[in-house]
Structure 1
């Protein structure tokens, strides 16, 4: 049995050395995965920003095409009841309100995606660093709540 114990010790040491040698590869893979996750998150945020930009542009184009038609028709209709200047003022004000609503909606959607910070990936990296330094996740639950 003494010979068996001697054989087990080098195996366990080789296992420990093998684990220690594997750490750089694990860290490399972890960093690679976090970078990929950050890229995916940034891409998703940029897609959302693109939708917001598209809505803003669509609102602006429709506003340009519709202004002439709406102002002319609305002013002519109101001119039957009111003086021309008042009819033009009412129609122009209504168009300005609709345009402002469309532009505000577009700007709000743009702000959701800009800047495209990968917040979820950054939180994951913080957790990885805490785990690697032995500080743990449960100890810093209050820190995460403060960060948000």
Structure 2
């Protein structure tokens, strides 16, 4: 049989006094803030890496799609060259692309003009009105 060892009382941990706690409070708060900042830094760096890798992969996909469009345009020229001379097929595809580019450019120009100038004019007008109102009230109150 195993013999039971007498249990020795554990030494009680000394609880710090109120003065010690208050004295140590700035150090503890500073350590906590530093730990939180390190945690935020780590999280932001991780997310930034993920965003960078994701953006790079999306850019690669867009570049590959650009090559695909080039191949499709070549296929269109080759398909047209079965019924027309090759130079005429290439000219027709180029003219089609020019028309599409002009239409997209004009639509983009109209949308861009709606956003010009990029100053929040309505908000500035409202702010000026509020400022005039406040100045008017201030003059009446002082008199």
Task: Give TM-score scaled by structure 2 length.
Answer: 0.44
Structure index of larger Rg = 2
**Structure with greater contact order relative to length (CA < 8 Å, sep ≥ 6):** 1
Higher share of residues assigned helix: 1
